[in-house]
Amino acid sequence: MTATSATGTTVALWRDWRGWPETIATAWRRSLRFRIISITLLLTSFAIFVTSLTMALVIQNNLFESRRDEVLSDALSAVGSGQKTLDSAEVTDDASALRALWGDVRDEIPRASSSSLIAAFAIDEPPVGTGVRGFTTGLSADLLSPGLRERVVSFPDRQAWQSVSLPMEDGSTAPGIVVGQQLIVPEVGAFEVYIAYDLADSQQTLRFVQSTLWVAGLILIAIIIAISWAVLRTVSKPIVEAAETSARLASGDLEVRLPVHGEDELATLARSFNAMADSIEAQIKELGELSLVQQRFVSDVSHELRTPLTTIRLAADMLNDQRDQFDPTTNRTAELLHTQVQRFETLLADLLEISRYDAGSVQLELEATSLTSLAEDIIEQMLPLAQGRGSELRLVAPGGYTPVDMDPRRVRRVLRNLVGNAIEHGEGRPIVVTVDSNQHAVAVGVRDFGLGMDPEDAQRVFDRFWRADPSRQRTIGGTGLGLSIALGDAKLHGGTLAVWSELAVGTNFVLTLPRQPGDLTGASPVSLEPEEVLSEVSHATQPMQLTELRELYFTDSMSNAEEDTP
Amino acid sequence: MTSRILVVDDDTALAEMIGIVLRTEGFEPVFCADGAKAVEEWRTQRPDLVLLDLMLPGMDGIEICTQIRAESGIPIIMLTARSDTADVVRGLEVGADDYMVKPFNPKELVARIRTRLRPVTAATSEVLRIGDLVVDVDAHEVRRGTMPIPLTPLEFQLLVALASKPQQVFSREMLLEQVWGYHYKADTRLVNVHVQRLRAKVELDPDLPKIVMTVRGVGYRAGSVS
């Protein structure tokens, strides 16, 4: 199976030639090795090709020239020996003797020459009856160009030569040279003698040399590629290693180091890298220690401050319990002491919580909890406070009943804070707590119809110790840190805490918690912009309260119609 | 008869203030400021309850709690400046019955002490059965067959609460209210840790509980009588 599919892949890869340019471009971009090898391959191939070509041409030339010189001298000596025979003979008018002499010459020339392809033509028409005529042995007159013959005729003392294709016995042709020169026959006149030489041997030598050259060139290219591959490997392997090590370092593995070999540039790279890693590790360790020191400090401050505060708290409470026995001034003093110690206590608790967030030492204690029942609890808890302010607390819960992992202590604290804020700024109007869920998240919205804020102010509600209206008195006794802590709690859950507010319309806070940590996608189940959702949701669940609420909302808006239209 | 309470705290001002509060409420406080002497002091004074600070010079509160628990089931309430999980859970695991995070108010302190000193009461003073155990409420005794199993008053109270209503599933909140006297949502770790401690003593195999059964997502109930 595997083999078949592998072959299939290969075939598919080969067939998918359209993708090649893309693949090559990617490899070129991504791989230093591929790029350098390609360049090396291209340049060396070109250089070797040019060198081989030049060498082949030079060798061919030399071979030809030496062969030609050899052929010329061979022809010269052959014809020369024929001439000598002619010159040394005692020539009379005896035609028969002359014929016999000519016959000797005809035998002499092939014997003295290394080729048997010979042709001779009379330049001037020989006297009739001498019997001395031109002849050809294996060399056809057709092979001789008129130019060659003309040159031979015109220059009696010189040899002339020409390259020709010699027909072979098997019908093919072979390269050859024809050399021509004059032979003077006494009493008869001048003859042109041509001797053709076969260059097949030289041709074969040349071919052998050339093919050797090309093969050598290819082997050379292969060797160069192999060498550059090997060299590149030694260079690029440490680079790849360094890249991988950096990646591991970046992903938090501070212990990794590069091996250092020798003292070359790569070793320098490795050493500097290791020095960098050392320094980073040291700094991170130092930061970690600082954070530990900070956490310990927070914890110590907690202990040191809380013990005397407990004593003060106990004393203040004791005094407060007995304050009816005091005169009015001391009575009031004891009461003030009591309330302010309580305030100090909450402030301290909030400060410690905030500094825990800053130190990053906060941990969630997850427990499957139903957000709806949690909201019910909080509403029940906050009911006395709300009634004291004339606000009605309402719960609208189309969803959020199934338990979701959360830290109930923290979520409770966030909700208590949000509902408390809503009561404080709700101007005695109803407060609607909406709980809903979707595939990814559960959410709770706390909506009041009170004072509201500018959108710019709303952006700052999570700032520490920030107040929308500094002149406004704190009555419920918030510390100014509640919403910062609430935001911290939401973020710790991987959730969000968002605010919507409008002056004279009201405020809506929405806390959204993911079902799975880190899986907070899409919109929150409870919309931040409250109106439409309120009507939809309330229609479905509590229509009576909705109409009441809408009437209330609209009449309220009407009464403020000058400055605000719904 | 006034209950004697040992206050182990190195902060003398706080110890004195706690003493004032306790005396006002009719208790008899005795003090120990040195952790190293706390166990010895406990042996000589034989108090009815120990208020134990977790961070002490000499010997820390966890160690003192472990040593006292090895000898007695006396109610121990930890006083801690840290609400951090680790400390509180460690204290509960070595046997502290309850804990209070500083700063606390006097009413809360007195309420916690009174709850721990309150005698165990059951709807009936009969002999109760739970699993293969016999719980004799009047005699303050739990037996498997003839073998008595020593339990601290808190553990006994927890077991009686479960055994007196064998049909009922108790949520952690219900147990917190009934055994610890909390009328609001408190730390359910109290219940979890003490159920573990109770199981370690009464179950034959604490990993396969037959006496204190877990009802997933709800709480606990008594194991059926066998």
Residue with the two structure tokens 């006149």:
A189
In whole angstroms, give the CA distance from residue A352 to residue A442: 28
C-alpha span between A86 and A105 (Å, rounded): 7
Provide the pairing of β-strand B4-8 with B28-32. parallel
Confidence bin at A12 (pLDDT 50/70/90): low
Instruction: Number of A to B CB contacts under 8 A, please give it.
Output: 57
Q: Do A314 and B17 touch (CB under 8 A)?
A: yes
Model pLDDT for residues B175-184, shown as the tens digit of each residue: 998 888 887 7
Query: Is ipTM beyond 0.90?
Result: no
Report the pLDDT averaged over residues B72-85. Answer: 82
Of residues B81, B106, B107, nearest to A303 (C-beta): B81
Who contacts B212 (Cβ-Cβ below 8 Å, separation ≥6)?
Answer: B159, B162, B195, B198, B199, B202, B203, B220, B222, B223
- More confident position, A558 or A499: A499
Instruction: Please compute the mean of the pLDDT values over residues A251-267 and round it to a whole number.
Output: 83
Chain A from 120 to 179: CB within 8 A of any B CB: none
Give the model's confidence band at B56: pLDDT under 50 very low, under 70 low, under 90 confident, else very high.
confident
Which residues in chain A are contacts of B105 at CB distance < 8 A?
A: 313-314, 317
Distance from CA of B105 to the nearest CA of A (A): 6
The answer to whether A486 and A497 are in contact (CB under 8 A) is: yes
In the predicted model, what is the mean pLDDT of chain A? 80
Dihedral angle sign, alpha carbons of residues A335, A336, A339, A342: negative
Give the minimum alpha-carbon distance from A383 to chain B in angstroms, rounded to a whole number.
15
Tell me what the mean pLDDT of segment A206-227 comes to: 89
Q: Does A68 touch chain B (CB under 8 A)?
A: no
Q: Any chain B CB within 8 A of the CB of A4?
A: no
User: Does this model's pTM top 0.80?
Assistant: no
A213-222: per-residue pLDDT in tens? 889 989 988 9
Considering CB atoms only, which of A309, A314, A365 is closest to B21? A314
Q: Which residue has the tokens 């050859």?
A: A176
Q: Nearest residue of A to residue B54 by CA position?
A: A303
CATH, domain range B127-222: 1.10.10.10
Over residues A45-69, the pLDDT tens digits come to 899 899 888 988 998 888 888 888 9
Residues of chain A found within 8 Å of residue B24, distances taken between Cβ atoms: 318
* pLDDT (0 to 100) of residue A126: 66
Whether A307 has its CB under 8 Å from any CB of chain B: the answer is yes
Which homologous superfamily does the CATH classification assign to the domain defined by B4-117?
A: Response regulator (3.40.50.2300)
Contacts of A313 in chain B (CB under 8 A): 103-105
Which helix H or strand E contains B77, and what residues bound it?
strand B76-80
Specify the pLDDT at position B18: 94
Comparing A3-7, A428-432, B85-89, B104-108, the range with the smallest average pLDDT is A3-7
Kindly give the interhelix angle for A32-88 and A200-250, rounded to the nearest 10 degrees.
170
Please, are residues A206 and A59 in contact by the beta-carbon 8 Å criterion? yes
DSSP labels, A232-277: HHHHHHHHHHHHHHHHHHHTT-TT------SSSHHHHHHHHHHHHH
- In A, which residues are within 8 Å of B25 by CB distance? none
Mention every residue, 6+ apart, whose C-beta is less than 8 A from residue B211.
Answer: B130, B131, B132, B133, B159, B199, B202, B203, B222, B223
**Is the minimum CB–CB distance between A36 and chain B shorter than 8 Å?**
no
B151-175 pLDDT, tens digit per residue, is: 999 999 999 988 888 888 998 888 9
Chain B residues whose C-beta sits inside 8 Å of any chain A C-beta: 11, 13-14, 17-18, 20-21, 24, 55, 81-82, 84-85, 102-107, 109, 184-185, 217
DSSP state of A473: P
A405 touches chain B (CB under 8 A): no
* Cα of B79 to nearest chain A Cα, Å: 10
Q: Which of B17, B31, B87, B113 to mutate to test the interface with A (most CBs of A within 10 A)?
A: B17
Higher-pLDDT residue of A527 and B113 is: B113
Contact flag A309-B102 (C-beta cutoff 8 Å): yes
Q: What is the DSSP string of A10-31?
A: HHHHHH-GGGHHHHHHHHHHH-
A377 reaches B (C-beta below 8 A): yes
- Both tokens of A452, joined, read 């509201």
Of the candidates A347, A342, A344, the one whose C-alpha atom is nearest the C-alpha of residue A481 is: A347
Proportion of chain A above pLDDT 90, given as a percent? 10
- Which of A268-272, A279-283, A538-542, A553-557 shows the lowest mean pLDDT across its residues? A553-557
Q: How many CB atoms lie within 10 A of CB A415?
A: 25
Chain B residues inside the 8 Å CB shell of A306: 81, 102-103
Average pLDDT value for residue range A464-479: 66
Contacts of A310 in chain B (CB under 8 A): 14, 17, 102-104
Q: Where are any strands of DSSP class E within A358-440?
A: 367-369, 393-396, 404-406, 431-437
- What is the domain partition of chain B in residue ranges? 4-117, 127-222
For the segment A361-380, the average pLDDT, to the nearest whole number, is 85
Residue A458 · residue A500 · CB < 8 Å: yes
Kindly list the distances between the CA atom of residue A372 and the CA atoms of A156, A408, A411, B50, in Å, as whole numbers in the listed order: 128, 12, 12, 40
pLDDT in tens, A320-364: 988 899 999 999 999 999 999 988 888 888 887 887 777 777 778
From chain B, the residues in CB contact with A300 under 8 A are none
Q: What does the alpha-carbon distance between residue B172 and residue B212 come to, in Å, rounded to a whole number? A: 13
**End-to-end alpha carbon distance in chain A:** 71
